[in-house]
């Protein structure tokens, strides 16, 4: 008789742990539209703030607030792939001017950003590099 209770108890414990596991799985699944990484935002100097404003107006709809990426839309630019040694400033200029054929991720292509000047992109780069530095990139 005691043995029977022990088995019931064991089943209850396994079921409980199993449900807990399923619960965390669900929480960890990427949510469409969510930020992809958490970004430390540094104190920005005036010129970088200007870049932030331009970024928010032209890039954040896809690359997310603080360039943290958006699940299902576009990657974070605060990412090792985009460190200056991998994607120099000119890569940002070309991305804005001509768009990007999808190659690093599965989000699809980036279209050219209409009506943005080289000068504006240079300001955006200053901002992105400042945030990258603050995040060890």
Number of residues that bind ligand HEC (CB under 6 A): 26
**Interaction mask 74-93, ligand HEC, x per CB under 6 A:** xx-x----x----x---xx-
Under a CB-based contact definition with an 8 Å cutoff, are residues 35 and 65 in contact? Answer: yes
Our CB check for ligand HEC shows the closer of 26 and 90 to be 90
Rule CB under 6 A: say whether 113 interacts with ligand HEC: yes
- What is the C-alpha separation between 44 and 34, in angstroms, rounded? 24
What sign for the dihedral angle of Cα 98, 103, 109, 113?
Answer: negative
Under a CB-based contact definition with an 8 Å cutoff, are residues 33 and 73 in contact? Answer: yes
Give the footprint of ligand HEC on residues 30-69 (CB under 6 A).
58-59, 61-63
- What is the C-alpha separation between 60 and 70, in angstroms, rounded? 9
Q: Which residues bind ligand HEC (CB under 6 A)?
A: 58-59, 61-63, 74-75, 77, 82, 87, 91-92, 95-96, 100, 102-105, 107-108, 110-111, 113, 116, 124
């Amino acid at each position: 008789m005691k043995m029977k209770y022990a088995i019931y108890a064991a089943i209850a414990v396994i079921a409980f742990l199993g449900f807990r596991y399923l619960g965390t799985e669900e929480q960890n699944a990427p949510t469409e539209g969510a930020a992809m990484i958490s970004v430390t935002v540094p104190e920005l100097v005036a010129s970088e703030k200007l870049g932030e404003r331009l970024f928010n107006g032209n890039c954040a709809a896809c690359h997310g607030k603080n360039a943290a990426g958006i699940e299902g839309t576009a990657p974070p630019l605060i990412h090792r792939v985009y460190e200056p040694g991998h994607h120099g400033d000119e890569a940002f200029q070309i991305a804005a001017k001509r768009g990007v054929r999808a190659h690093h991720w599965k989000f699809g292509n980036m279209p050219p950003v209409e009506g943005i000047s080289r000068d504006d992109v240079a300001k955006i780069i200053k901002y992105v590099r400042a945030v990258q530095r603050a995040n060890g990139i």
